[in-house]
Structure 1
């Protein structure tokens, strides 16, 4: 089988080609392609493939559909996150944010197209897993929707009182949970034992991101600049780093017994490198004027 990363890029290329085929308004087509390429870290497709591989998935095409859908949904969320209504971020992945290049209206439509395209990708591989495609659709919908998906995570930023744990769960962890579950579904296995792995990885990722953000000199798109909740601001640097390690430990303990467990754990060793080494040179803790309901995660 072709390397999963190569398969993912090829599948994303085909998906974008379909979304931008003849008849697509030129600027919309350019914006869709700009949102997906060049590649970011592709963490979610990589994780989806790793779960499917650990479960000896018999049909890589089914995993292609799930992994591609997850990345299209993630790319759509980044486009939305950068919009003036939310972060008004100048840069994304070292270049101008999509709305800065194509305008706000086209950016909104490009994000819409990516979301719809994600579910189209699942539909295109439905014949491979006809008895499980409904479950996969629901899993992805919950990961990006409401009440606990990415849409809810974005909406928490508009609230006057913010539950930090619920915010992290919705903004980031929900799609990671959908990712590990989708890998199991594509492999024809029960997704439930894999949900906790994704949930803890997503929480760890968001903590690492908060720690890095607070230690950065950047202002564009930073949590402080936009009044977003940040674990370091609310809990302090030491507690945030400790919780990051707790979440990583919980994710490792949650890995289910399976035929490819050793392979999956080797994958996690590499996958978690970016989580374990965040920039902990945080600035002095700032005070957020909005009341935030503090909630420490208890890891058993």
Structure 2
């Protein structure tokens, strides 16, 4: 089964176990609405790509890790869009969860998706216990404090923010979780895989900062111009448009160099380079070209 099909099946199974007829209808509908249809599923696909490069010796565990990471990403989007944070009206080209279902259900849906992610991992208990325990710890670190996406969101409320640190926590942490969990699911030491995920994640965030400036809401599927409107840290604000593009190119190159030795290193390198070509917003030229 190809990676996209594996991810969608795992997510459908996970959400189906939560959004049952016993669940309050509004919450059940909101859970499904927040997860489907999804975006590019970049993080879970990265997790499975690393697992494949490392031999994919436990596909069920890799699928559980990938789907848990995506559920947590979806939860973060639901919470990010709330009036107390971004107050975003649109997400993935449709009304955000709090507009579609109301703010209380949106808060609960985000909470339930976080819990569901760890339930999904628990259901993989038939796999190697040591690998599973390591993955649970990695995912917890990637979403909590002091280095996870919760901390990344909190940096937006601080008066002074280091841009690289902000990007590493808000975006890079879950990408690092994806690469490390992919390796761990296949029995490899996850630590050497952290740098790869952090660099891809930071590159993705720089691209998002560029997209916020140069693309419109119709193109991005979410409100544009929000970094400037909310005075949020941004690569474009700090480095300028050309500087942000240079930073993006440098991060992609550094990510490729950071791939640890593994059986599928060359294939993974090609995948990362292919994916990175879609990071740069349309109409923004490569500096190196």
TM-score (norm 2): 0.93
Output the CA distance in 1 between the equivalents of 2:273 and 2:161: 33
Choose which of 238, 246, 264 in structure 2 pairs with 1:234.
238
Q: Residues of 1 paired with 2:251 and 2:91: CA distance? A: 27
> Which of the numbers 212, 217, 220 marks the counterpart of 2:223?
220
Alignment of 1:61-76 (within 5 A): 61-76=60-75
Aligned residue for 2:129, secondary structure, equals: coil
Residues 1:197 and 2:220 are matched in the alignment: no
Structure 1 match to 2:35: 36
Q: Does 1:46 align with 2:50?
A: no
Report matched runs for 1:1-300 at 5 Å: 2-218=1-217, 220=223, 222-277=226-281, 279-280=283-284
- Which runs of 5 or more structure 1 residues have no equivalent in the other structure? 282-300
Contact 1:211 1:237 in 2 (8 A): yes
Match of 1:290 in 2: none
State the SS of the aligned residue for 1:18: helix
What RMSD in Å do the two structures reach over aligned CA positions?
A: 1.5
Distance 1:114 1:35 in 2: 9
- Contact (CA 8 Å) 1:212, 1:279: kept in 2 or not? no
> Which deviations, in whole Å up to 9, do the C-alpha atoms of 1:228-259 show, x marking residues without a partner?
11111122112111111111111000011111
Q: What is the TM-score when the length of structure 1 is the normalising length? A: 0.90
Aligned residues: 280
Note the residue ranges of structure 2 that are not aligned, 5 or more in a row.
none
Contact 2:252-2:273 at 8 Å conserved across structures: no
Shift of 1:205: 0.4
